[in-house]
Structures are given as structure tokens and as C-alpha cells.
């Protein structure tokens, strides 16, 4: 059995078991001690996903009690469907899904609906970087089912340059302990139509200065992190940051994504802001 299938099967089996007693009759740990079961869907065009899957999972698990199954698709095109989505119950057994795929040309409405269904039913999500540019089905570029899920329509980016990140919602539990920072050269994704959906709330903006060919400069600004309430109930955290490995591995980026993930499952508290005992759910 392929490694991915073993990881997902193990994770689903462990969840389904619903253990309440440990071997030998010892009491099971309290809910706060149970790891958050997360699925990372990653792969596709234009990024070093082979490395970034490690940066994300290890970086987040070093900060929070999160353990992972990884659905890594090595295909580097935009038309290939991550194999994890081939089953209707692809998300069964997980507490949250982190979408970091880059599949712009997967457009079949039935497939997009299959991907969205567990989230419509209430499964929390984190969406990062090119995950925003996926599933460009009918209604693109102004409105698609995927944009309704992410909470922000974004269609393009300019040349790479450092981005000044400023946290604009000082009361957000995600960002209230974080300070602004500047990325390495990065892609600043645009905000199509200039604003978030009415179900979303901005928490960070990015400002980027681009040097033009005529010697002049242009400054662009967009929302780069936000929260969304999908289908009236599902918590979704999104950030368009995360193209280069140096950004994904940056402690400040990992702090932001970790806190966004914990917020999405409503467990952003000291009990869960502690390292996981292991990174992968099938790790011994």
C-alpha cells in the first residue's frame, strides 16, 4: 500500500476507534491533551511542495499539539487532481484540513463540490498561498464556489519583492500577540474587486514596492491574512503568503499559520499551544 494510503488509513482508523481507555486500564488523557488531527493537502504547480510539506508540518507541530497526515501530490501541473480527493469521504476522521495545493485548472463542478462538502458540513480549514488560486470553475474571476469558501477572490500576483506585513485587527486572537514583519522576496496576491467577502474579516495587510522598468516605483497593498465564516458555520483561516521556502520556514510565518489553524478549530489557548509529541499520525 502506498505511504499516503497507509497514513490516511491509519489516521481514519485511530479516529474511528474513539479510544477512552489506554492499555492496562489507565484513563485516557483529557481532551486538551489529545492532538488535533490535521490533513495537509499539498502539491501541484509552481512551488517546492516536497520541502514545504516538511516545513509546515514540523513547524506547526513544534508550536501546537497538532499531528498530521500528508496528502502530497508530486505532479507539477495545474490540471491534476490530488488523489486524496478521489473518495467522497476524503476528509473523514480529521479535525482540520490545510489546503496548500496549486490546481487552477481542476474545474469540474462535481469535483469542486466533493472537495467543499466536508467544509460545508462544518470541517474547519486553513488555506495558504496558491490554495487561493485553485478550482477556477464557472464564475471565475469574480465569483466561484471556491472563493466563497476562502472568503477572498484573488486572481494574480506581480513580481517578487519583500512584503511589509501589518496586523490590522489588534483584537483578533490570532494576531494580538504577533508583531508586523517584512518577508523576503515574495508574491503579493491581489484582492479581486478590492475587498473580502462580507463573511470575512481582514487581520493583516501587505504592502509591496515594485521597481518599474522606467526607474519609477509602484506600491501595491492587499489583504494577506483573514478569517472567514463559510456556509454560516465553518471557520476558515486564509493567508496568501507562502511562495518561497524561506517564507514558509520563517518563524513569524509559522506563528501566524499555527495560530490561524488553532483558531479554526476553536482551540487557540495555552492548553494547545504546546509541541506535539510527534509530527505524523502514523509515526511511532
At residue 12, what are phi and psi to the nearest 5 degrees?
-65, -40
DSSP letter at 43 equals: E
The whole model's pTM is what? 0.88
- pLDDT at residue number 193: 73
pLDDT tens readout for residues 121-140: 999 999 999 999 999 999 99
Joined together, the cell numbers standing for residue 204 give 493583516
Q: Are 196 and 190 in contact (CB under 8 A)?
A: no
- pLDDT at residue number 254: 98
- pLDDT at residue number 2: 52
- pLDDT at residue number 14: 43
User: What b/e string do you get for 214-243 counting C-beta neighbours within 10 Å, with b at 16 or more?
Assistant: eeeeeeeebbbbbbbebeeebbbbbbbbbb
Q: Are 260 and 237 in contact (CB under 8 A)?
A: yes
- pLDDT at residue number 195: 78
- pLDDT at residue number 30: 57
- For domain 3-21+31-154+224-264, the CATH architecture is 3-Layer(aba) Sandwich (3.40)
DSSP line for 164-214: EEEE--TT-TTTTT---EE-SSB--B--GGGS--TTEEEEEEEEEEEE-TT
- pLDDT at residue number 31: 66
Successive 10-residue mean pLDDT values, the chain, 284 residues: 49 41 40 90 97 98 98 96 97 98 97 98 98 95 94 95 96 96 97 88 97 90 98 98 98 98 97 97 88
- pLDDT at residue number 29: 46
Q: Are 263 and 228 in contact (CB under 8 A)?
A: no
Q: Give CA torsion, residues 240, 130, 125, 144, to 10 deg.
A: 100
Question: How far is 284 from 280, CA to CA, in rounded Å?
Answer: 9
- pLDDT at residue number 283: 86
Question: How far is 257 from 262, CA to CA, in rounded Å?
Answer: 9
Amino acid at each position: 500500500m502506498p505511504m499516503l494510503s497507509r497514513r490516511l488509513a491509519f489516521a481514519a482508523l485511530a479516529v474511528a476507534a474513539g479510544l477512552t481507555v489506554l492499555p492496562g486500564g489507565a484513563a485516557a488523557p483529557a481532551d486538551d491533551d489529545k492532538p488535533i488531527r490535521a490533513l495537509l493537502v499539498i502539491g501541484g504547480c509552481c512551488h517546492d511542495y516536497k520541502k514545504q510539506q516538511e516545513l509546515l508540518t514540523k513547524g506547526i507541530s513544534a508550536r501546537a499539539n497538532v499531528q498530521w497526515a500528508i496528502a502530497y501530490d508530486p505532479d507539477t501541473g495545474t490540471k491534476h487532481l490530488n488523489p486524496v480527493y478521489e473518495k467522497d469521504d476524503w476528509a473523514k476522521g480529521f479535525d482540520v484540513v490545510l489546503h496548500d495545493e496549486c490546481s487552477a485548472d481542476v474545474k469540474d463542478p462535481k469535483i469542486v463540490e466533493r472537495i467543499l462538502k466536508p467544509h460545508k458540513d462544518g470541517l474547519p480549514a486553513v488555506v495558504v498561498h496558491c490554495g487561493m488560486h485553485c478550482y477556477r470553475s464557472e464564475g471565475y474571476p469574480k465569483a466561484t464556489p471556491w472563493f466563497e469558501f476562502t472568503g477572498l477572490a484573488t486572481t494574480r500576483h506581480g513580481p517578487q519583492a519583500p512584503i511589509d506585513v501589518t496586523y490590522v485587527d489588534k483584537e483578533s486572537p490570532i494576531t494580538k500577540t504577533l508583531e508586523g514583519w517584512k518577508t523576503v522576496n515574495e508574491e503579493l496576491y491581489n484582492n479581486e474587486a478590492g475587498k473580502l467577502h462580507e463573511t470575512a474579516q481582514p487581520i493583516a495587510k501587505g504592502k509591496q514596492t515594485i521597481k518599474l522598468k522606467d526607474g519609477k516605483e509602484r506600491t501595491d497593498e492587499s489583504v494577506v491574512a483573514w478569517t472567514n465564516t463559510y456556509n454560516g458555520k465553518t471557520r476558515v483561516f486564509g493567508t496568501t503568503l507562502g511562495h518561497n521556502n524561506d517564507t514558509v520556514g520563517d518563524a513569524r510565518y509559522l506563528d501566524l499559520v499555527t495560530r490561524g489553524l488553532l483558531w479554526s478549530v476553536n482551540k487557540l489557548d495555552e492548553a494547545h499551544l504546546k509541541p506535539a509529541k510527534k509530527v505524523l499520525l502514523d509515526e511511532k
